[in-house]
Structure 1
Amino acid sequence: MTELGDNTHPIQVPAWRRIVVKLSGEALMGTRSHGLDQDTLARFAADLTNTAARGVEVAVVVGGGNFFRGIEGADKGIERARADSIGMLATVMNALALEYAIEKQGQAARALSALPMPALCEAYSRQAALHHLEKGRIVVLAGGTGNPFFTTDTGAALRGAELSCDLIMKATQVDGVYSADPKRDPTATRYDQLTHAEAIAKNLAVMDTAAFALARENRIPILVFSIKQPGAILAALEGRGKATLVLP
């Protein structure tokens, strides 16, 4: 067991065996206005590699918002199902880039897509993903759920359940779950710990309701942390620094 939280509100968390990390597309663009930032990719790849080196089996679900967000495309007049399909293609680009960045760290990785495109990467199946995880490879999961109208947050919760993960790690730009957007409301309070039911009832927008509901049904904890600092994934996993643990 390790402690999570600040010195006054420590949280006891177990050692995790298999995790799924949700990285947004926006996180991959670093300080750029769009696209991919190579330094940021290398930093995330090193962090994921160091996490795998601790004996943790690591899957990563990537978003595509640095290239295209389906809901924003729908707002601009593209049919929602078609816009979401474009967004899913954006996640494949990110997955291929992250796969390569991880391999440059000397760590084996495999990109698997829920949208079959065999010329580019392996098609996702539960059996294939489990095989790669058991072989010590980092599995980079693209294509969301493979269906429109579902976010990549929901995709992360779905893959977490399918792959029997012990933990979903949600990387954000803030150090946990707040009662309101801390960038807009300076009085917002941060939670050290809460339940899935509380997150849904309070309409806390760090993940969508479908993702929280899937995690609750399958009793998978969610760890919400800031990705801003180097080594943030491993630090959060080991209970160093601030984060919010959302429990069943």
Structure 2
Amino acid sequence: MTDESQAGLYKRVMIKLSGEALTGPEDHGLHAPTLSRIAEDLVGAAKLGSEIAVVVGGGNFFRGMQGAAKGIERARADSIGMLATVMNALAIEAAVEAAGHPARALSAVPMPSLCQPYSRQAALHHLAKQRICILAGGTGNPFFTTDTGAVLRGAELSADVVMKATQVDGIYTADPKRDPKAEWIGRLTHDEAIERRLAVMDTAAFALARENRIPIMVFSIAEPSAITEALSGHGRFTVVTP
């Protein structure tokens, strides 16, 4: 699908990357070839001229909701999940630098011996220097998903779009992996996504994007250059608009 979304229209881009996207064919952890492929894709996106920020999840190591289901207090489980996002951010930072582009990992949970604490001013400074910013620690608070964290950071940093990288090529009327009759949706509004309870992002993330009038692109990260292609307006993706 070719859309009006073009890299030249987006000065600043927020990419939400799940931890699971880094596992490749493995069950958990980091898959080095997949990590390198995604890092090269991020560098390619930056070379299109946009400033690139990334919010990364931690589900490849630990997910707060799953920990809570196993008897860990939810706030504590979410804190463990935040630490997992820092591990992923450091790995992405190293992979982007290995691909020849400057990067900075910043964490909403301060741990200055490992990476720079997140602040809006620091992130804006790095983006202006064309460094890819990898933002870890979610919002720094329990009970908020990294989807919500991505939209929050997108609003803080005046991002022109939030790109949600998933395992499927957009939003469907149901889970296409479970329902063969699920229909692909090319475009819808934030209100429609909330009303239809489409589970690709949580309601808080959609509501925050709606309030700040930030469009969301949902696309598959499975193929090489997926980010670059979607950012260029090529391939297949869903656009959620204000």
1:197 aligns to 2:191 (yes or no): yes
1:72 aligns to 2:66 (yes or no): yes
The 3-state SS of whatever aligns with 2:44 is helix
Deviation at 1:11, TM superposition (A): 3.3
* Structure-1 separation of matches of 2:76 and 2:153: 23
Q: Which amino acid aligns with 2:139?
A: T
Extract structure 1 runs of 4+ deviating beyond 3 A. none
What is residue 178 of structure 1 aligned with on the other side?
Answer: 172
CA contact (8 A) 1:19 1:166 kept: yes
The 3-state SS of whatever aligns with 1:20 is strand
Equivalent residues in 2 for 1:223-238 (5 A)? 223-238=217-232
1:86 aligns to 2:77 (yes or no): no
Equivalent residues in 2 for 1:1-248 (5 A)? 5=1, 11-14=3-6, 15-248=9-242
Deviation at 1:13, TM superposition (A): 2.2
Count of paired positions? 240
The 3-state SS of whatever aligns with 2:213 is coil
Normalised TM-score (structure 1): 0.96
Q: Deviations over 1:58-81 (max 9, x none)?
A: 000000000000000000000000
CA contact (8 A) 1:84 1:149 kept: yes
* Structure-2 separation of matches of 1:52 and 1:175: 22
* Structure-2 separation of matches of 1:54 and 1:33: 33
RMSD (Å), alpha carbons: 0.7
The 3-state SS of whatever aligns with 2:49 is coil
CA contact (8 A) 2:3 2:234 kept: no
Q: Which amino acid aligns with 1:224?
A: V
Deviation at 1:194, TM superposition (A): 0.3
Structure 2: 5+ residue runs without aligned partners? none
Deviation at 1:54, TM superposition (A): 1.3
Q: Which amino acid aligns with 1:11?
A: D
* Structure-2 separation of matches of 1:186 and 1:81: 37
Using the aligned pairs only, state the percent identity. Answer: 69
Q: Which amino acid aligns with 2:66?
A: E
The 3-state SS of whatever aligns with 2:30 is coil
Deviation at 1:12, TM superposition (A): 2.1
CA contact (8 A) 2:106 2:118 kept: yes
* Structure-1 separation of matches of 2:65 and 2:87: 18
* Structure-1 separation of matches of 2:216 and 2:199: 14
Normalised TM-score (structure 2): 0.98
* Structure-1 separation of matches of 2:101 and 2:12: 17
